[in-house]
Amino acid sequence: MKRLSVIFAALSLSTAAFAGAADDVVVHEPYVRLAPPNAPATGAFMVLRNGGAKAVKLVKAENPASRLTELHNHINDNGVMRMRQVPAIEIPAKGEAVLKPGGLHVMLIDMKAPLSEGQVVPITLGFDDGSSKVVEVKVQKVMPAAMPAAAPMQHGQHHH
């Protein structure tokens, strides 16, 4: 019986060791961009809010829908926007990291099958302290940047 309680205590400690950063980071507005059926890759976007007292780094991401998952950023290379893999995405203490099109994002590469609108992709986010968090991310069509969803409609001069 004593041996069982020692094993249970050890398991409890190992679980606690992996809580850390994953518990401090809250994920808001996650989505995977719906890509054409023959597209080899797509992006996942979200806002990562760190409620903790120290900065946290997202160092990896994994998902079952693609063979490879990387952290990426877009950079301006002499006037040409290029996508580059980054080793980590820092989330400041009491701050946030915004993963959005044209900026930081999670790249799903070499898709195993086409994704469909409304499908949910579980993405495991891995942090620099070894902790991780699984986020259920819905696949969505994204409106073009020229048509922001939050823009108010102008009805002032419209007559029926």
The model's pTM is 0.77
> Of residues 5 and 127, which shows the higher confidence score?
127
What is residue 19's predicted lDDT score, i.e. its pLDDT?
A: 61
With cut-offs at 50, 70 and 90, classify the pLDDT of residue 3: low
DSSP string of 49-92?
A: EE-SSS-EEEEEEE-SSEEEEEEEEEEEETTEEEEEE-S-EEE-
d(C-alpha 58, C-alpha 135), whole Å? 13
Identify the CATH homologous superfamily for domain 21-140.
PCu(A)C copper chaperone (2.60.40.1890)
Q: Side chain identity at 134, as an amino acid letter?
A: V
Percent share of the chain, pLDDT over 70: 77
